[in-house]
Amino acid sequence: MKSPRLAATLAAALVAGVVSAAAPATATGPTAPRPAAATPVAANGQLTVCGTKLCNQRGKAVQLRGLSSHGTQWYAGCLTDGSLDALAGDWNADVLRVSTYVQEGGYASDPRKFTDLAHKFIDMASARGMYVIVDWHMLDPGDPHANLARAKTFFTEIARRHQGKNNIIYEIANEPSSVSWSRIKSYAEQIIPVIRNIDADAPVLVGTRAWSSFGVSEDGDEKEVVNNPVNAQNIMYTFHFYADSHREEYLDTLARAAGKLPVFVTEFGTQNYAGEGSNDFAMAQKYLDLMASKKISWVNWNFSDDDRTGAVYKPGTCEAGGPWTGTSRLKPAGAWIRERVRTPDDF
């Protein structure tokens, strides 16, 4: 998420110009949900990076689709047995991203509390057969080195507690900004060994420059990563987009990067970069079509009832305890993304 949204997360948002969630099906648009069968983890087992793709235990390239939590300091109440049953069973999601904010009233304010919350939600998603992205949601300050010691402590405990699981994916820096790629690379090369010394097999996701845009939001591009990759194996690079703000330049960057690097889109929305305003479903579908064609896994922001148009549930849903299934409590963006999460990949 871009800083203007994060800085005002608790403020009331302008929910304006929302277009209809009804959209025609495309090749990668709405279809019937996949038949009840093995869970995503049972079907795919331990994931690994093979070339530029994410592959399952049989070496088959797969595309995961799912949702990200909001910050657990604000919206932990949206992750319940009922809501996660719906995410796994009604939405047929493959992956949940558990977002532990570092600042903004998050981990730095009470490391024990927020580490325990991460453990709780990892276990809940794991029990439902989903993959889990453990998101170290650093945003401000934009240099991940500012929280290096905290990150080492957090990931050491997470890896130790969950090292027996085959569904964990580590996202070590959400959205670096105003910092060089070499500085981000240095951070990654210090954090990855901390995880690898405990969990040798899990994929690790590395944030890219300029709010995980491969540098585009600060006048760069993917070549800085292509020419100077992180010195580690079984890693992917993250890319974030918000369709109403991030147009063809971003789409083209993602297409080029995915031809040379393993990419995982760990955050996107159909609105502007702040997760607010109108939904541009047509532009978002262009991204989804590209990601389907290149087997780029994705996670939508966000699985909560925040006031913003980018939160899938209507305000008050979490406090009321649902209903979680179907579309009656979904905003237009929620109904739209639910149908696309339900579209099955060929595992």
Residue 56 to residue 70: CA distance in whole angstroms? 27
The CA distance from 118 to 155, in Å, is: 11
Buried b (16+ CB within 10 A) or exposed e, 301-320: bbbbbbbbbbbbbbbebbee
| 36: number of Cβ within 10 Å | 8
Sign of CA dihedral 175, 324, 78, 157: negative
Catalytic residue among 175, 222, 224, 339: 175
Which DSSP helix (H) or strand (E) runs through 238? strand 235-242
- Answer yes or no: are the C-beta atoms of 293 and 309 closer than 8 Å: no
The secondary element (H helix, E strand) that includes residue 334 is helix 332-342
Q: Active site includes 171?
A: no
Give yes or no for a contact between 342 and 31, defined as CB atoms under 8 angstroms apart.
yes
Amino acid present at 16:
A
246 CB-side CA count, 13 A: 33
DSSP letter at 108? Answer: G
Which residues on neighbouring strands pair with residue 109, listed in sequence order? none
Alpha-carbon 259 to chain mean position: 20
Contacts of 189 (CB under 8 A, 6+ apart): 230, 231, 232
**Distances in whole angstroms, Cα of residue 6 to Cα of each of 79, 127, 333:** 20, 30, 19
Q: Which amino acid is at 70?
A: H
Selecting among 171, 222, 224, 267, the annotated active-site residue is 267
C-alpha–C-alpha distance, residues 255 and 293, integer Å: 10
As beta bridge partners, residue 204 has 170, 235
Query: Residues 160, 162, 168, CA angle at the centre, nearest 5°?
Result: 125
Query: Is there a catalytic annotation at residue 224?
Result: no
Q: Which residues are catalytic?
A: 175, 267
